[in-house]
Each structure stands twice: as C-alpha cells, then as structure tokens.
C-alpha cells in the first residue's frame, strides 16, 4: 500500500491503539486456560459425535491470569487465512495474531495464505512482517492477503492441505470466517487429529450477517460496523423521504439466512416497515400474504395523504417464505441431479422448461407464476457451499411488482386512491469493507490475540471466544468454545452434512420485541431516526457504542 493510497482518515486511524481485555494485557506467558464443562453438539448429537470422534465433547475454555512461562520457550509458526465474504476488522484480527505471537516470542512467525482456502491448497503465502501489518491496522477490507470461498472438502484437497502444513512446518492455522468456513475449520481439526499431526486449528467468528453467535460467541465481527454504515444510508433515505414525501423506498439489506441486519437497522432508524424473515416463516406466510401486509400499510398511509415511506427487506426473505423455501430446496436438488444436461443448454428459457418437468406440479406452478426476472435469478449458480446466491435475487423488485398489481386491483374496487412510486436499493457490498468502528477494531484485535493463546496452549478445534461485550474492552472475558458444540446436520447439495448452526432472530427476544411494540406507530407516523456516519473521534457515548441488538440482549440476560 503506497502513501498515495492512504487517506487522511487512515493516517489518524493508524494511531488508534486497540484496548485489550485485562486478562490478555500482559501477554500469553501470563495467561492460563481454565477447563470448564464438557460440551455436546447443539443437535444431532450421535451423528456429529460419529463424524468427529477425536474432537467431539471437548470442554469450554476460559482464560485466567497465571504464569505460563513454557510458552515463551517455544518458537512457533502460525498460518492465517481469510475465508468467505469480507467484514470490517479482518486486518485487526491479523494484527492481534501478529502482536500476540511476537509478545510470546519475537522469533515466532505468522504466515498469511493468499486468496482464501485455495491459498492453502496451492501453498501460496507470504510472511506477515512489521512493515506489512502496520500499513493495515484499523483498516477495512481483506486486501492484505485477500479472501476466497473455496471449500476444502475432497480427499485430494485435504491431502494437499496436509502437504502445505508439513512443508511450512506450521504449528497452528487460524481460519477467519463465518459458519461454513468454521465448519471447514472443524473438519480440518478432526482430520489432523486423525492423521496424528500436531497442529492447532482455530476459528474466528466473522460475518456481517450476525448469524454466527451463541452463548459463547455474543457477536460476529463486522456486524457492528456494517449495520452502522447501512443505518447511516437508511437514515439518509428516511430524511429524504420525509422531505420529498412522494416515494416509497424499498431497501434490501444483506442477511442470507437470518434477518439480524434488517432488525438492527430497523431499530436504529425506525422505518415504516421492517420485514423479518423469521417471523414470516413462523407464521407460515405465503408470498401473497407478505405483499398484503405491505400493501395494507401503504393504503393506510395513503388515506392520510402520505404516499411515501421506507421499507426494509432482508435479502434472505425469499427463503423464509415456506413455499419459496420448498421451491428453492427442490431446485437445489434438481440442479444438482441434472447438472450435466443443464450445462449443455445456453438458453435460460430452455433450462426452465426442463426444470418445470422435474419439479412437483405445485412448485412448478409457483415458479411459473413469478416474474421472469426472478425465476431466472433463482437458477443462478449456487455458491461453493451449495447455497442459493440470494444477494443476486432482487426480492425488493419482486415485492414492488406484486404490490403494483395489488394496488391496481384495489384502486379499481375504490379501496385505494393514493399514488405509488417506488425506488429500490440494495445495501450489501457497501458495508463489507468499511473502516471498522471502535468496537470492531477492539473486538477483532482481541479475537486475534486470543487465538494466539489458544494455539500456544495446544487447544485445537476451538472458536476464539471474547464475551461480556457490552462492557468496556478491559472487562471482556476470553477463552475458547469447541467448534463441534455448534454443529447440526443440514442438507447441502442433496446430501446430509455437518455444519455450524446459524443463529436466527429470536422472536421471543428483546430486540424483536421492541420492533413489535413499535411496529404500528412506526408504520403510520414519521418516527424516523438519523444515526449519521460511523464516529471514530469524540465522546465515548458516541464513538464506543455497539449495536442496539447486543444492548437489548444483555438487558434480557440481566433481568433474569
């Protein structure tokens, strides 16, 4: 990174010194692991235990202060890989790893694998040095070593990974990723145990979607920064709509498998409509019923001469609608089973014609009823983990088109006399590489430093865990949670596979409860909030605040 690439903000952010939790402050030689209770997988215990015989049932680990001088006598080499989509703070995880290793022993080395897991398979790497890491502290993006979505799953890939580990004489490998990437970390930890190779595989919880969390992982990094960025833009749209008063804005937000981002941005900005996928699924709403709910709000506002508003749509909404989820699941199987034949077809309509004959009649009819653009987008190639790429399915446009049809019918019946002009937005990639907030800068640095302590204590198969996050960083608690305790069995690419279970919005939780309490008021009035941009300098009450979601979740726990 040249001087010309460094902005004025980055010059100042380089001066920011992350605050370590007090237990980590004096370095790895002053930290001892305390063993907690043994664990079991979140579900499908017998199956998961059978698949992970050497790493299943490991205990929770909490770090406490104590002498651990043997750590300083070892010289270790640790690899790090960024896996999956970008999230603000990834560079600070690497900075925490680097500083923790050097604090333990200046001869320790950190090796970055380039381009994600494929860099491990192909043995493409670079050593992380002082001069390199100093250019990336407190910055957004993953550009120091880049990321990728390759999944290590075939016997050949595992064998090549072993070769890379042995050639580089690695003592540890830290996988920075989401639920799928950390599932891969768990599989690698099990594989190396079985092979008798002494290497520690550690995961770090990364995803702006917020769906990698549990009692031990209170938040995945990047969620705080990304939702602040999305809330700034959404707040700006709310202010614009309140000024112009003539458009309905439909804002699709990232969140493939959970609606945490939509909920958080909704709580930060108070739009007129915030759709939550988990609620749609629980109530078994059809696509038509979702449209009816939105139309009802539009009609009520129009009756008060308010032909404007803001609606938030989680990008994964389409998968939460039971009939659509059933369609997508069936499509996944059909696409996998007919891959060879479909690959010979160049025309999308030809592919659809074949697929219609392979689907059950009710699902074939449902797919045919969708706008052509949306039915085509449902056929886009799946990601390496077998998931539909919902970021490329324009759910907000689907809703708008169906709303127009519904409003036209109501107008003919004399039940609607308003005007409906819609503008659509997709806020996704804009938030993935933002400069991390103070919270994320501190949290990611702690996660990286904490990972070093796990490696140096030979604790393989763990996810770096930093807890008590609503308190000041010095009060955060550190340790490790076994990756297998988060596992369940899911159907992927037509097969049953172990994966880390995604954390969904809890409909009985305080964050969603707050939305529910205010839904009617926010729908019909202009209660908009305008959070503004992420603040890095100024009073702590502004710069160090974390998410509304985390705050409300902590309130619930404190009130038990």
Q: Is 122 labeled as catalytic in the residue annotation? A: no
DSSP SS3 for 201: strand
Where are the alpha helices (H) located in 176-259, listed in sequence order? 179-195, 223-244
Nearest-5° angle of CA 50, CA 52, CA 53?
70
* Residue corresponding to tokens 């609620």: 279
C-alpha torsion angle, residues 63, 30, 126, 429 (rounded to 10): 40
Give CA–CA dist 225/531, Å, rounded: 13
Catalytic residue among 179, 180, 209, 440: 209
196: left (phi over 0), alpha (psi -120 to 50) or beta: left
How does strand 422-427 pair with strand 495-500? unpaired
* Tokens encoding 389: 């790429």
- 402 touches 394 (CB < 8 A): no
Give me the residues paired with residue 201 across strands: 173
Beta strands per DSSP E along 493-548: 495-500
DSSP SS3 for 136: coil
* Tokens encoding 538: 């100024």
Nearest CA to 203 out of 179, 171, 170, 169 is that of: 179
Nearest CA to 314 out of 228, 383, 235, 256 is that of: 256
Rg over CA atoms, the chain: 24
Give CA–CA dist 176/186, Å, rounded: 12
How does strand 125-127 pair with strand 109-113? antiparallel
Q: What is the DSSP string of 386-446?
A: S---GGGS-HHHHHHHHHHHHHHHHHHTTS------EEEEEESGGGTTPPPPHHHHHHHHH
Residue 364: CB atoms within 10 Å? 17
Give CA–CA dist 335/494, Å, rounded: 10
Give CA–CA dist 445/92, Å, rounded: 5
The residues assigned a catalytic role are 209
């Amino acid at each position: 990174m040249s001087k010309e690439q460094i902005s004025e903000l980055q010059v100042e952010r380089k001066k920011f010194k992350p605050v370590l939790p007090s237990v980590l402050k004096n370095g790895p030689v002053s930290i001892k692991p305390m063993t907690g209770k043994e664990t079991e997988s979140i579900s499908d215990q017998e199956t998961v235990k059978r698949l992970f015989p050497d790493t299943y049932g490991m205990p929770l680990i909490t770090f406490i202060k104590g002498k651990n001088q043997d750590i300083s006598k070892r010289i270790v080499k640790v690899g790090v890989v960024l896996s999956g989509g970008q999230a603000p703070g990834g560079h600070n995880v690497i900075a925490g790893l680097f500083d923790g290793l050097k604090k333990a022993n200046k001869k320790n080395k950190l090796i970055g694998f380039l381009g994600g897991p494929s860099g491990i398979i192909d043995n493409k790497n670079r050593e992380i040095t002082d001069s390199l890491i100093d250019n990336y502290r407190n910055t957004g993006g993953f550009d120091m070593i880049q990321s990728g979505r390759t999944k290590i799953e075939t016997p050949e890939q595992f064998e090549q990974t072993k070769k890379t580990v042995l050639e580089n004489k690695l003592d540890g490998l830290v996988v920075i990723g989401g639920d799928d990437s950390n599932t891969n970390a768990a599989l690698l930890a099990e594989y190396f145990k079985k092979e008798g190779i002494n290497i520690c595989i550690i995961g770090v919880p990364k995803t702006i979607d917020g769906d990698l969390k549990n009692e031990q992982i209170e938040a995945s990094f990047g969620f705080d920064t990304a939702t602040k960025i999305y809330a700034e833009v959404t707040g700006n749209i709310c202010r614009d709509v309140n000024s112009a008063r003539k458009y309905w804005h439909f804002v699709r937000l990232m969140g493939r498998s959970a609606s945490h981002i939509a909920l958080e941005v909704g709580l930060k900005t108070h739009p007129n409509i915030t759709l939550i996928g988990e609620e749609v699924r629980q109530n078994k709403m059809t696509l038509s019923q979702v449209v009816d709910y939105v139309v009802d709000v539009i009609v009520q506002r129009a009756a008060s001469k308010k032909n404007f508003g803001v609606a938030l749509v989680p990008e994964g909404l389409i998968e939460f609608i039971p009939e659509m989820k059933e369609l997508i699941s069936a499509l996944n199987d059909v696409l996998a089973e007919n891959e060879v034949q479909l690959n010979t077809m160049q025309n999308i309509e030809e592919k659809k014609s074949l697929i219609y004959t392979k689907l059950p009649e009710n699902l074939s009819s449902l797919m045919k009823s969708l706008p052509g653009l949306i039915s085509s987008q449902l056929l886009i190639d799946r990601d390496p983990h077998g998931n539909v790429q919902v970021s490329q399915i324009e759910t907000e446009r689907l809703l708008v088109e169906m709303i127009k049809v519904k409003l036209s019918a109501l107008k003919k019946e004399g039940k609607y006399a308003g005007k409906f002009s819609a503008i659509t937005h997709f806020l996704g990639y804009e938030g993935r590489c933002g400069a991390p907030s103070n919270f994320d800068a501190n949290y990611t640095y702690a996660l990286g430093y904490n990972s070093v302590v796990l490696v140096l204590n030979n604790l393989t198969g763990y996810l770096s865990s930093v807890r008590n996050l609503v308190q000041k960083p010095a009060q955060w608690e550190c340790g490790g949670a076994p990756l297998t305790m988060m596992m369940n069995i899911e159907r992927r690419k037509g097969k049953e596979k172990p994966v880390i279970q995604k954390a969904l919005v809890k409909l009985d939780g305080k964050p969603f409860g707050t939305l529910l309490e205010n839904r009617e008021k926010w729908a019909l009035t202009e209660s908009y909030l305008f959070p503004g941009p992420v603040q890095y300098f100024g009073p702590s009450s502004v710069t160090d605040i974390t998410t509304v979601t985390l705050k409300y979740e902590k309130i619930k726990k404190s009130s038990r």
